[in-house]
Chain A
Amino acid sequence: MKKAFEVKNRAVVDAAELILAEIKAIGADEGETWVSHNILTELYYELGKISMVRTVFSDKVSIKLLKDKRKGAVTLNSFDPVDIKQAVAEAWQASQSAAPDEAEGIAELQENVSFSSGREKPDLDMMYQQLVGLLADVKSDFPKISFDSIGIEHNHSEKVYANTNGVRLSDDVGLYQLSNMFVAKDQDKSSSFNYFGTVYEDPSERVTDSDRVRRVFDDTQQQIETEQFEGSFVGDLVIMPGCLENFIWYVGDTYLQDGALISGTSPWKDKLGEQVSSPLVSFSLVAEHPDLPGASQLSGDGYVAENMSLIEGGVLKNFSLSRYGAARTGLKRSANNGGTFVFDRGETPLEELIAGVEKGILLGRFSGGNPSPAGDLSGVAKNSFLIENGKVTKALSEVMIAGNLGDMLRDTVAVSQERENSGYWLLPWIRVKNVTISGK
């Protein structure tokens, strides 16, 4: 929910205003700060039992100041005025040794607004019931699943961004998050580990009501018995949604974000407005979406984030650049440089998408090295299945895939109608051709 700037926790606002006053008093030209008060409540399961309740109270502060475009920055976890004064002095000292950088700056004056979502207080009893329910459902419906750990958290954070241009933004978020790690076991045999994460507002929801969750458990149970194959071939990858998120992060890092564009290594640095991938590929960064409570409405550099297309119909529409990255490259600051991705649904039913594969892999998880600056990547296909003549035939182990990210986007030949939702991404299955797949 968006409203005029208003913060419930006065200590957070007071700390932010004190920091700006200290920044001005010490002689800086400009400055900005993020200040937050956070309460994390966690219920943790491991090794066959609900083992721990954990509460973390934390105050977080980050400060940046500029003098003659020389930057100094500090972080601390105290609202104590003495600590704040000392931290600003430390940032000032750092700025004095820094070289000037004309690209440095802070967010321009804009409408001062506040956002809120979720619930401030955790319902620990409800979290306990949700965890007990998940364990009971898995025992009943997926008896071979063995959890290493499950964490159900409620994280309430009230954070304020303030700068010397007069910008005041705040975000009051209280969300639940479930994370886990598990294997499927049958006597001495075990699958690879698997996991899923989800962000949500209501802990009374039954976790196993989700089709995605049931699919992941079911797939993992089928991965206890795996097979290897010898030799290598060039074939198709069908990338599952959770794995696709991994690849999209790689795309951001290699082609779209500050690092790759400032260093000049992005192979797409001159491709804005051009066709960079298959026309079937369209994905966006979102700040607000009815099904994605995990989306952040504030950017890290002090702007209200917006929904923004990255690739539309295969055409590169926007980079994902911060204010600083834009100033360094001479490109436009992006309306969103966050990490909540939505990939447009395609026109191919999943069943048909798989049926079109002569030989390839249904890729559940990619365990690989970071791509090279050119986008080359290789790694192990985990939690994956062989596809032969349009049918998923067997679970695999010790299979590697190698290709190039840019080539993979250009060689995307189908996108599924179906999508899965984690609360912080919304993604389909995609089919990519011409990937090198090698066995033992």
Chain B
Amino acid sequence: MLQDHLHDFVTKHGFTGYTELRAQQNRNRSVAMLNGSLVSNSSGISKGISARVVKGGAYGFASATGYGEDPDAIAQVVNAASQNAAFLDHHVQRGQTDFASVQPFTRKDGLEQDVAVEQSYLLGMVDDLDSYIAERFPKLLSRRVFARVLDMEKLLYTSDGVVSHSLVPRSNVYIFMTAEDKDGQPVELYKVLGGYGNFLDNFKNAEEYFDKIEKQHELLMQKAEGVYAKPGIQTVILDYDLAGILAHEAVGHTVEADFVQTGSVGGPMFGKQVASEKISLVDIAHTAFGELAPVPVFVDDEGTPAQDQMLIENGILNGYMHNKESARKFGHQANGNARAYDFSDEPLIRMRNTCIMPGTDKLEEMIASVEDGYFMTDMNNGQADSTGEFMFGVPMGFEIKNGKLGKAIKDTTVSGVAFDILKTADMVSDTVSWTNSGMCGKKQMIPVGMGGPAIKVKINVGGRA
């Protein structure tokens, strides 16, 4: 765990003007097996210190690797950030006042999760899972099993007197299986296990996951016999995986206040109906439905206490995600969305755990209500832009014919304009699940959680004619 070498420095030197001073270490581990051979067996630490100084509205940032008790090393980073702010302030002469001060506070979050795990433990787990797959399914064309651990620990001091020391651990195992279809073409399916928490807690023994592997193989075999989806607008039930990424990619990015200022569709739609009344969307700070969310944020990297941010309430767009600067510009409250990935990164407006709230429908009733359409269960990536137009890759799904699940479908893509699609949502299931392995790219990568119920919509499917 990071030692607090910042306290003495701050006590002795204080800050000149608005400053955030952050020590951070990201610890990662990776083990990967491809067809039984170990292709990755590595661990790493990225540790360092950064300072961000604001002078007249101009930001100066500096960072350096290494973090220790040497006050001169800390001072050098703060001075470099100050000089950068002064250079820019000299050129742009913006003349803005500092952000309004907040009440000082100190808190610690997640530090009890700092549990050491040996690389050999990851190796053993991956080997056990891989061996099970190899033994049970020898006809597979290929199999990949890999484990990843990322622990993000941050120690933040701000000139407002905020002190926050936090640890957010994440551990996942990914399982890819590839089989041949009847034409000899490879078809693939993957599942992700684990999520928030340290590896030891999430993966106590491999046997707990054998049922999931069996299910995954069964689905892969169905996909190998699968059909191409029909292209064009279709009635589709998007399961939680896809509803979650819809919330994140297609809506979430358009209501990040920086994208709003650039001209995203979220700007002119504020206060308007953008979805059916059955849809409410929230960016959860840290806790939802009585449990920690996949990426709990209690204090963001500007020192703002994190709270849930309502984005769409009963179909009405009524909130944006902010950092301190955009909140001041819009006259809104910042709720803790300014996040940085590495010690060398400046905080950006980022989502945390975007989630469509559950409805009242049962999934079985939703499927029964579809005469001709699809039930899409998995996603493998997603992209969206400022217009709200989006696409997701769909590696697994089924036809629905006369209210019953039919054949599996091969890889396809769904796309549309988010607010148009959400206006067609006429059924929303009563349970929510989280996708808790997501990384979002926006200048920097950042871990995010995505959640949702199953939703029934009309959406464009990129099948084959």
* B392, CB-defined interface residue at 8 Å: yes
Task: Return the contact of A95 from the options B41, B57, B85, B390 (Cβ within 8 A).
Answer: B41
Which residues of chain B in 409-462 are interfacial with respect to chain A, using CB atoms and an 8 Å cutoff? 410-413, 415-417, 443, 460, 462
Quick check: B38 and A99 within 8 Å, CB to CB? yes
Taking chain A's interface residues, is the majority helix, strand, or loop, or is none over half, making it mixed?
strand
Task: Return the contact of A50 from the options B92, B390, B415, B416 (Cβ within 8 A).
Answer: B92
Residues on the A chain within 8 Å of B192, using CB: none
* A420, CB-defined interface residue at 8 Å: no
* B465, CB-defined interface residue at 8 Å: yes
CA distance A328 to B326 in the complex (A): 52
Residues on the A chain within 8 Å of B60, using CB: 52-54
* B58, CB-defined interface residue at 8 Å: yes
Which residues of chain B in 30-78 are interfacial with respect to chain A, using CB atoms and an 8 Å cutoff? 34-35, 37-48, 57-66
Residues on the B chain within 8 Å of A436, using CB: 231, 464-465
Residues on the B chain within 8 Å of A101, using CB: 37-38
Asked, given contacts A52-B59, A183-B386, A398-B417, whether A262 binds B34 with beta carbons under 8 Å apart, the answer is yes
* B109, CB-defined interface residue at 8 Å: no
* A190, CB-defined interface residue at 8 Å: yes
CA distance A75 to B65 in the complex (A): 13
Quick check: B186 and A59 within 8 Å, CB to CB? no
- Interface 1/0 per residue, B161-205 and A, CB below 8 Å: 000000000000000001000000111100000000000000000
Task: Return the contact of A262 from the options B39, B120, B141 (Cβ within 8 A).
Answer: B39
* A90, CB-defined interface residue at 8 Å: yes
Which residues of chain A in 343-369 are interfacial with respect to chain B, using CB atoms and an 8 Å cutoff? 367-369
Closest Cβ of chain A: how far from B299's Cβ, in Å? 22
The residue of chain A having its C-beta at the shortest distance from the C-beta of B231 within the complex is A438
CA distance A190 to B464 in the complex (A): 30
* A390, CB-defined interface residue at 8 Å: no
Asked, given contacts A101-B37, A148-B259, A190-B263, whether A369 binds B385 with beta carbons under 8 Å apart, the answer is no
Contact residue range for chain B? Answer: 35 or more
Quick check: B62 and A54 within 8 Å, CB to CB? yes
* B94, CB-defined interface residue at 8 Å: yes
Residues on the B chain within 8 Å of A369, using CB: 380-381, 391-395, 411, 413
Which residues of chain A in 306-336 are interfacial with respect to chain B, using CB atoms and an 8 Å cutoff? 324, 328
Quick check: A193 and B386 within 8 Å, CB to CB? yes
Task: Return the contact of B88 from the options A53, A62, A376 (Cβ within 8 A).
Answer: A53
Quick check: B462 and A402 within 8 Å, CB to CB? yes
* B239, CB-defined interface residue at 8 Å: no
Residues on the A chain within 8 Å of B262, using CB: 47, 146-148, 181-183
Residues on the B chain within 8 Å of A397, using CB: 387, 389, 417
* A210, CB-defined interface residue at 8 Å: no
Quick check: A77 and B65 within 8 Å, CB to CB? yes
* A264, CB-defined interface residue at 8 Å: yes
Task: Return the contact of B61 from the options A53, A73, A181 (Cβ within 8 A).
Answer: A53
* A275, CB-defined interface residue at 8 Å: no
Quick check: A59 and B65 within 8 Å, CB to CB? yes
CA distance A74 to B41 in the complex (A): 8
The residue of chain B having its C-beta at the shortest distance from the C-beta of A371 within the complex is B411
Residues on the B chain within 8 Å of A56, using CB: 62-64, 344
Residues on the A chain within 8 Å of B47, using CB: 77-78
CB<8 Å pairs between A and B, sample of 25:
A51-B59, A53-B61, A54-B61, A57-B64, A58-B344, A73-B43, A78-B66, A97-B120, A99-B37, A183-B386, A191-B387, A192-B387, A263-B142, A367-B385, A367-B391, A368-B391, A370-B381, A373-B185, A373-B187, A374-B187, A378-B413, A378-B463, A380-B413, A398-B460, A400-B415
Interface set of B (CB-CB < 8 Å, partner A): 34-35, 37-48, 57-66, 80-81, 84-85, 87-88, 91-92, 94, 118-120, 123-124, 127, 141-142, 144, 178, 185-188, 231-233, 258-259, 261-265, 268, 326, 344, 346, 380-381, 383, 385-387, 389-395, 410-413, 415-417, 443, 460, 462-465
* 3 tightest Cβ-Cβ pairs between the two chains A and B: A369-B393, A75-B44, A97-B120
Interface set of A (CB-CB < 8 Å, partner B): 40, 46-60, 62, 71-78, 80, 90, 93-99, 101, 103, 124, 128, 146-149, 151, 181-183, 185, 188, 190-193, 231-234, 259, 262-265, 267, 324, 328, 367-370, 372-374, 376, 378-380, 382, 397-398, 400-402, 436, 438-440
